Amino acid sequence: MSYSLPSLSYPYDSLEPYLDTRTMEIHHTKHHQTYINNANMALKGTVFDNLTAYELITNLDKIHQDKKTFLRNNIGGHVNHSIFWKLLKKGTSLKNELQIAIKDNFGSIEEFKEKFELLASSHFGSGWIWLINKNDKLFLTSTNNQDNPLMGENIIGISGYPIFGLDVWEHAYYLKYQNRRLDYIKAFWNVINWDEANKRFLSK
């Protein structure tokens, strides 16, 4: 099975002024595509090349050590970005079941956002910030590089189902925000597709 770049349901300029057009285009067609190319190359001719990306990411402990780190980085990059693109859209609002769950788990929406922003701004280097569902409780966590909570505790020390995530690699924001990561994080609230996040919450 060869993985391919998922098309976006929106044009690259549709998230302006929060996420700029050029960054979106490069991020999607260059960075994400590279992760896909690398994963396809590593899997070609192996017994794992018939697995979906989600099947593979949850079975990394079965991969031989000489390919495990390479696939962890690249299949992680593919899955993370595939989730990320679907969770971007202007004009939606936090409501329904996910809103209730966030209030129940974090005290208030404002407290949740403060904790998310602190975690995202203090994460050292490249990685992702996640809202995850684990055993019907919501948690905030961060992962390094292209790690994903679906990889599980044996691989990355944490586990959970991602409700949404924010890419804090510099390639996700540097053209527009340079070193102002917190500005990028705050801008993210304007482009979260809360309808998709709620759907993901209800699926687990």
| Residues 6+ positions from 156 with CB-CB distance below 8 Å | 143, 144, 147, 148, 149
CA atoms within 13 A on the CB side of 134: 13
Q: Give dist(CA 194, CA 28) in Å, integer.
A: 21
123 is in an annotated binding site: no
Q: Give dist(CA 68, CA 94) in Å, integer.
A: 37
Contact 196, 90 (CB under 8 A): no
How far, CA to CA in Å, does 138 sit from each of 60, 107, 131, 143, 163? Answer: 24, 12, 7, 16, 9
DSSP label at residue 172: G
27 is in an annotated binding site: yes
136 is in an annotated binding site: no
- 95 CA to centre of own chain: 21
Choose among 117, 140, 127, 139: nearest CA to 187. 117
147 is in an annotated binding site: no
Q: At 166, which helix (H) or strand (E)?
A: strand 161-167
Could you list the residues known to form a binding site, using ranges: 27, 81, 167, 171
Could you list the residues known to form a binding site for Mn(2+), using ranges: 27, 81, 167, 171
